Structure 1
Amino acid sequence: MKHPILLLLATLIAAPVAAQSPMTAAEFDAYSRGKTFYYGSMGEAYGVEQYFDNRRVKWSFLDGQCSDGVWYERDGLICFEYEEVVDPNPQCWTFFKGPSGLIAQFEGDPEQTTLYEVQNADEPMTCLGPEVGV
């Protein structure tokens, strides 16, 4: 189901991101620490991430299943590594501060996935417990 705000934000990020300077690790940390961001991509809800002290994070694709991880700066990119994931390779992004919040380009490539901040919440995200067998 498409949300009007997601479609509006997708239109807003169509403005050239390349004209903006990427956020440094210090800027990203100052902006994100202690917050929870809901991200969208191409007009659809994409995921939620909660940012903690010491560059720790918790990610979910909005399915209630959460993965703990860390982020770090590498070659100007902000890279994430998560404990419970299929792909153990770092997921590296270039972050920009747009007029409506964060904009993230996967590996700094505008042809790849672009995420944008849809909502900034102070409350923690919802994570279900581990799956219980029958």
Structure 2
Amino acid sequence: MLKSAFISAALLAFSATSLAASEPLSGAQFDAYATGKTLTFAEDGRVYGAEQYLPNNRVRWAYNADTCMEGIWYEKEDNICFVYEDGGTPQCWSFYLEGERLKAVFNGESGTELYEATQTDGPLACMAPGLGV
């Protein structure tokens, strides 16, 4: 009897943990995880881009070494939305913590899924504005 009660309790705890892991991060959880880090994201094993998360919901995004954009993020429902200096429409993603890494799912037709490939506390390598040809 005691053994079956223990097994039932263990299964219930496992189910609750699995459910919690499948819920998107809130803005506060995302902020606590990402601020002060530069994360590189990948899709199907290929680098997609990198983003530096700065204080006060500011970000710096790069999809290649020559193109960096400044922006901000904000929480909207179960999404973290990004708006960049290029004036494009907000890009909203749901972020999930899987193990010790983030998974990001785009809230749009593509349904793109990105995974955190690397993280550092160093700055994003961006070319300074006005340099180059």
TM-score range, shorter chain: 0.7 to 0.9
Paired residue secondary structure (1:123): coil
1:4-39 superposed Cα distances (whole Å, 9 cap, x missing partner): xxxxxxxxxxxx999611101100000000110011
Q: Which residue of 2 aligns with 1:105?
A: 105
Distance 2:48 2:112 in 1: 11
- Specify the alignment match of 1:38 in structure 2: 40
Cα deviation, residue 94, structure 1: 0.2
Q: Which residue of 2 aligns with 1:118?
A: 117
Q: Hey, what does 1:128 align to over in structure 2?
A: 127
CA distance in 2, matches of 1:19, 1:37: 20
Correspondence for 2:61: 59
What is the identity, as a one-letter code, of the residue corresponding to 2:29? E
Q: Distance in 2 between matches of 1:29 and 1:61?
A: 21
Aligned length, in residue pairs: 115
CA contact 1:77–1:108 (8 Å) conserved in 2: no
Between 1:90-99 and 1:63-72, the stretch displaced more is 63-72
Q: Which runs of 5+ in 2 are unaligned?
A: 1-17
Note the aligned Cα RMSD (angstroms). Answer: 2.4
CA–CA distance in 1 between the matches of 2:108 and 2:102? Answer: 14
Report the residue type matching 2:93 in the other structure: W
TM-score (norm: length of structure 1) = 0.77
Offset of 1:122 from its aligned partner?
Answer: 1.0
Amino acid corresponding to residue 30 of structure 1 in structure 2: A
Structure 2 length as normaliser, TM-score? 0.78
Unaligned runs of 5+ in 1: 1-15
CA deviations over 1:102-126 (Å, ceiling 9, x no partner): 00000177x6111110001011011
Larger C-alpha radius of gyration, 1 or 2? 2
